[in-house]
């Protein structure tokens, strides 16, 4: 049900897969991006992308064109293309920002890149063939804080962005130089670059900064997770209705849609959670994906504590192993099998240097009451 891989002791900041899932690009919490090739059940490092000067904050791998885009705290982004010799070569993206880049995503058609930053703006980048470089246009108003997460709508035009001012905003990222005017969407009619179509506060009272946002497979819903341990959904097909759920867990850091009505969220609790929304629009916890337990049964563990107390007049508390597979916060959740509307597997990476692949279908068969919808 869960496939576990270890990549050393360094935390994994973020990761991205190639099209056939035979290679993975990840950052070991520094300025480098390591590319691993899967050989049977082992991983071989085939290349290291080290053009950045500071910590890499975002990676995305375009499945159709096989290009990698990376961004970092050094205020730069690079598009990497693979040469005939198998080595990756960088092309600088002109972001024109004066603060760290925080997140990056390819558009569905892979002709645009969106980059969030601490400069309180989003850079929408496209390739200018005349000068053979990537240029950017900015979405600025009414952004008032750092952009922490972004995601593209399936129509290749709309962007959803979460920020540190507790807000989720949906913008148009239409570039008239390279694409035709799109059809109106349930989120709004205006499609000029930078137009804000919707805005949602993370919470009605207080709240926390938004860690991750994601469009659903059909583009009619947006889910996000906040630092106040909340998970939320906005539905364009229900007059932009927002459903919020304050959870009992530690804050989530990443989320991704796996079904038409279900998404997986993971973070500081170290366990991926499957959340679903029913026909009435209510959001609920469907199941925990990590069903692993400690090797010792509870009774044996209690007996050991009693024996230790009887023998030494103290209780042994040296066991710091968590009951979950991940032993530290999960920083990134990605699709591994299927698409947003019908995913069969997801992958998670975390601060413990581990990569875990979760088989949703086998979990659905084994966990009573769990259903990915």
DSSP string of 60-80, one letter each residue? EE-TTT--EEEEETTS-EEEE
The chain-wide mean pLDDT, for the chain, equals 91
pLDDT for the residue numbered 301: 54
pLDDT, residue 373, reads 78
> Predicted confidence band at 112 (pLDDT cuts at 50, 70, 90)?
very high
CB 113 within 8 A of CB 94: no
DSSP 8-class letter at 84: T
- The model's confidence at residue 312, banded by pLDDT at 50, 70 and 90, is low
Give Cβ neighbours of residue 142 (< 8 Å, ≥ 6 apart): 169, 196
pLDDT band at 314 (very low <50, low <70, confident <90, very high): low
* Lowest pLDDT segment from 5-14, 71-80, 308-317, 338-347: 308-317
Candidates 145, 136, 132, 129; CA nearest to 104 is 136
Q: What is the pLDDT of residue 302?
A: 59
Mean pLDDT of 158-172: 96
Q: How many Å apart are CA 173 and CA 193, to the nearest integer?
A: 5
Q: Of residues 248 and 361, which shows the higher confidence score?
A: 248
Q: Are 149 and 213 a contacting pair, CB within 8 Å?
A: yes
Cβ neighbourhood burial of 239 (10 Å; 0-12, 13-18, 19+): exposed
Q: What is the pLDDT of residue 217?
A: 95
DSSP string of 4-61, one letter each residue: EEE--SS----EEE-TTSSEEEE--SSS-EEEEEEETTEEEEEEEE---SS-EEEEEE
Distance CA 3, CA 359 (A): 8
Measure the CA–CA gap between 120 and 146, rounded to whole angstroms. Answer: 5
Residue with tokens 């906040």: 226
Residue 297's pLDDT is 43
Neighbours of 323 (CB within 10 A): 10
Q: What's the confidence (pLDDT) of residue 205?
A: 72
Across 108-133, average pLDDT? 94
Reported as half-sphere exposure (CB side, CA atoms, 13 A), residue 6 has a value of 7
pLDDT for 305? 60
Region 58-87 average pLDDT:
96
Q: Where are the domains of the chain?
A: 2-293+326-366, 294-324
At 207, the pLDDT band (50, 70, 90 cuts) reads: confident
Q: Which two tokens stand for residue 305?
A: 């504590």
Please give the backbone phi and psi of residue 310, each rounded to the nearest 5 degrees, phi first. -70, -35
pLDDT of 372 reads 82
Fold observed for domain 2-293+326-366: Methylamine Dehydrogenase; Chain H (2.130.10)
| Statement: residue 283 has pLDDT above 60 | yes
pLDDT at position 263, please?
97
Q: What's the pLDDT at 299? A: 46
Task: Compute the average pLDDT of residues 79-103.
Answer: 95
Token pair of 106 as six digits: 């390819």
pLDDT at 309: 61
CA angle 177, 181, 183 (to 5 degrees): 155
Q: Which residues share a beta bridge with 99? A: none
The β-bridge relationship of strands 15-17 and 122-128 is unpaired
Average pLDDT over residues 82-92: 93
65 contact partners, CB below 8 Å, separation of at least 6: 110
Contact between 166 and 208 (Cβ < 8 Å): yes
Percent of the chain at pLDDT above 70? 91
């Amino acid at each position: 049900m869960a496939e576990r891989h270890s990549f050393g002791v360094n935390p994994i900041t973020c990761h991205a897969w190639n099209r056939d899932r035979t290679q993975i690009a990840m950052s070991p919490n520094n300025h480098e991006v390591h590319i691993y090739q899967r050989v049977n059940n082992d991983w071989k490092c085939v290349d290291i992308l080290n053009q950045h000067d500071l910590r890499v904050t975002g990676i995305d791998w375009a499945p159709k064109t096989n290009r990698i885009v990376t961004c970092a705290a050094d205020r730069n982004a690079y598009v990497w293309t693979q040469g005939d010799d198998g080595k990756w070569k960088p092309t600088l993206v002109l972001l024109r920002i004066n603060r760290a880049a925080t997140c990056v995503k390819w558009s569905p058609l892979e002709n645009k890149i969106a980059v969030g930053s601490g400069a309180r703006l989003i850079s929408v980048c496209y390739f200018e063939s005349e000068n053979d470089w990537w240029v950017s246009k900015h979405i600025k108003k009414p952004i008032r804080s750092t952009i922490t997460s972004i995601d593209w709508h399936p129509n290749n035009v709309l962007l959803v962005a979460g920020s540190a001012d507790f807000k989720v905003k949906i913008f148009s990222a239409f570039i008239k130089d390279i694409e035709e005017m799109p059809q109106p969407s349930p989120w709004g009619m205006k499609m000029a670059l930078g137009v804000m179509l919707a805005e949602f506060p993370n919470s009605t009272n207080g709240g926390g900064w938004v860690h991750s946002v994601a469009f659903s497979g059909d583009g009619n819903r947006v889910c996000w997770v906040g630092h106040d341990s909340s998970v939320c959904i906005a539905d364009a097909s229900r007059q932009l209705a927002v459903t919020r759920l304050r959870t009992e867990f530690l804050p989530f850091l990443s989320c991704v849609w796996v079904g038409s009505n279900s998404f997986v969220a993971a973070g500081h609790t170290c366990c991926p959670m499957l959340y679903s929304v029913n026909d009435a629009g209510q959001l609920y916890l469907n199941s925990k994906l990590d069903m692993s337990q400690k090797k010792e049964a509870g009774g044996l563990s209690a007996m050991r504590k009693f024996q230790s107390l009887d023998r030494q007049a103290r209780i042994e508390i040296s066991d710091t192993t968590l009951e979950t597979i991940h032993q530290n916060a999960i920083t990134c959740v990605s699709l591994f099998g299927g698409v947003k509307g019908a995913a069969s597997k997801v992958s998670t990476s975390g601060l413990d240097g581990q990569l875990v692949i979760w088989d949703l279908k086998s979990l659905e068969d084994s966990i009573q009451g769990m259903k990915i919808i």
